[in-house]
Amino acid sequence: MPNAVNAHLTVRSKCDELCSIRCFVADAAKQAGFSDDDTERIVLAVDEACTNVIRHGYAADPSSTLSLHIDIQDDCFVVTIDDSGKQYDIRHHEVPNMHEYFQARRTGGLGIKLIKMLVDKIEYHRANDHNRLILTKHLPEANATTSSPSQVIIS
């Protein structure tokens, strides 16, 4: 059984903080019992989500902050990202046609698609001018018996 994890980190809305975020998430994921490969997937998903908050939600305003909380809930590794940046309703995010994307040699714009591929469940809530993004990954023991696709919940 993996060790219990309950960790919190608050950082300024600066790309320089992404390294601290990655280390924070990697340490917690390893403590929870994830393999190196799964740890890298979780770190990449959280990094992408936090990059979106910093660049788009806050428009790189370093006076703003975002908070991460990591916990184990119901055999799942749960990363909660809270911010007060611009609202972004992922229901309206169009996943690009990959054939057209590569033909046009575009860059960027694949973050939400990537996050959905890397975690098991995504929730988004907006209340009182605050955003909450919750990324959930089944713990290693649960992964062996669960093979359902990612789930997205928006409220």
What percent of the chain clears pLDDT 70, i.e. is strictly above it?
A: 75
Rounded Cα gap, residues 112 and 91, in angstroms: 11
Amino acid symbol at 26: A
Tokens of 65: 């902050």
Judging by beta carbons within 10 Å of its beta carbon (0-12, 13-18, 19+), is residue 89 exposed, middle or buried? exposed
The pLDDT confidence band at residue 154, using thresholds 50, 70 and 90, is low
- Whether residue 11 is predicted with pLDDT greater than 90 in this model: the reply is yes
Condensed to tens digits (0 to 9), the pLDDT of residues 83-105 reads 999 998 665 566 666 667 666 76
Q: Note the Cα 17 to chain centre separation in Å.
A: 15
CA distance 91 to 126: 13
Domains of the chain: 6-154 (3.30.565.10)
Instruction: Please give the average per-residue pLDDT across 3-7, as a whole number.
Output: 82
Q: What's the rounded Cα separation, in Å, for the pair 120 and 118?
A: 7
pTM: 0.83
> Which residue did the predictor score with more confidence, 114 or 146?
114
Cα separation, 99 vs 28, in Å, equals: 37
